[in-house]
A = this chain, B = another copy of it.
Amino acid sequence: MNAPAPDLPMTVPAEGLPARVRIHEVGARDGLQNEKAIVPAVVKAEFIRRLAGTGLTTIEATSFVHPKWVPQLADAEELFLAVADLPVSLPVLVPNERGLDRALALGARRVAVFASATESFARANLNRTVDEALAMFEPVVSRAKAEGVHVRGYLSMCFGDPWEGAVPVPQVVRVCRALLDMGCDELSLGDTIGVATPGHVTALLAALTGAGVPVSALGVHFHDTYGQALSNTLAALQRGVTTVDASAGGLGGCPYAKSATGNLATEDLVWMLRGLGIDTGIDLGRLVATSVWMAAHLGRPSPSRTVRALSHQEQ
């Protein structure tokens, strides 16, 4: 059987979906951070450079956490400087004021804080209560805003939590409101353990917009642990969401959950969006080639089905 004809996927738009989606690429940070292997900074920089060459416009670069927490991120300064010339947005994570200082010193124009919707994960990830973590972020966000820097607020465990089970929607709405009220420009609603299904996604988005949050301030961040990431994304698009987090090649996962097999693969998302006629500006062939190149560095095949299907055909 020959390779698919070049007009695949067929483009057949669906009603009620946005005309354009911005993909927030997290593979270089969220993805590589959760790999066992330490990837050299020069390889990370080349990965980001290749990702920028695919047409991606927002590529999360690194995280200014203390190296003793995450050894994979000890090269944050070196890496950021190596890619700072690229004509794309390069958000970086900052856990606290010290991290913000480091990011601002390098000229970062977009930063992100990372909160939790549940007490259990706030304790596990940040060793704080939810409100203590919010209090820690408040001066980070206000200083960043005073510097004219764009701030994203990540919110983990928005749907299910491995210790607490289902996470009540009002609990998530409360933390979202707190992050927006302190000045976050956008939120990323994370299904950290990948358990959400489309009705839950719709319900959370409806509750947030019902509470006055503009949908333009909301991004979604799904994990494919149970194979649900793309159908959840479709449900979010149907509610007007236009910012979707994804990871090239499906890199990454949750370091605390062996079974959290990874983020939504950017290629699988681009395939769907292209089929739906939703503009992303991304060259899928280049993106697949980039993920194949990264997979070779990591010594294992990409978990993205689209990468596997298209790279198989090229062999």
Contact = CB atoms under 8 A, between A and B. Distances in A.
A308 B231 contact: no
A199 B7 contact: no
Given A2-B162, A10-B159, A228-B268, 18 more contacts: A4-B160, A4-B165, A5-B160, A5-B162, A8-B160, A8-B195, A9-B226, A10-B200, A195-B275, A197-B272, A198-B234, A227-B304, A227-B305, A227-B306, A228-B275, A231-B231, A231-B272, A259-B309
- Chain A's interface size range is 35 or more
A196 B14 CA distance: 13
A160 B309 CA distance: 15
Nearest to A275: B197
A287 B247 CA distance: 30
B259 A5 contact: no
A274 B197 CA distance: 9
Contacts of A159: 10
A293 interface: no
B12 A308 contact: no
Contacts of A4: 160, 162, 165, 193, 195
Nearest to A315: B258
A242 B34 CA distance: 39
A199 B309 contact: no
A138 interface: no
A298 interface: no
> Which 3 interchain pairs have the tightest Cβ spacing?
A197-B275, A5-B165, A14-B199
Give the secondary structure class of A's interface. Answer: loop
A27 to B, nearest CB: 16
B197 A271 contact: yes
A225 interface: yes
Interface of A: 1-14, 17, 124, 159-167, 193-200, 202-203, 224-228, 230-231, 233-235, 254, 256-261, 265, 268, 271-272, 274-277, 304-306, 308-310, 312-313
A308 B194 CA distance: 13
A263 B264 CA distance: 19
Nearest to A274: B197
Nearest to A264: B227
Nearest to A228: B272
Contacts of A9: 160, 195-197, 200, 226
Given A160-B9, A230-B231, A235-B14, A309 B225 contact: yes
A308 B14 contact: no
A313 B124 CA distance: 19
A65 B224 CA distance: 37
B306 A8 contact: no
- Of the listed residues A197, A234, A261, A265, the one surrounded by the most CB atoms of chain B closer than 10 A to its CB is A197
A94 B94 CA distance: 62
A199 B231 CA distance: 13
18 contacts: A1-B162, A1-B193, A2-B163, A5-B162, A5-B165, A5-B166, A8-B195, A9-B196, A11-B199, A12-B199, A14-B198, A194-B309, A199-B275, A226-B305, A227-B271, A228-B275, A230-B231, A259-B313
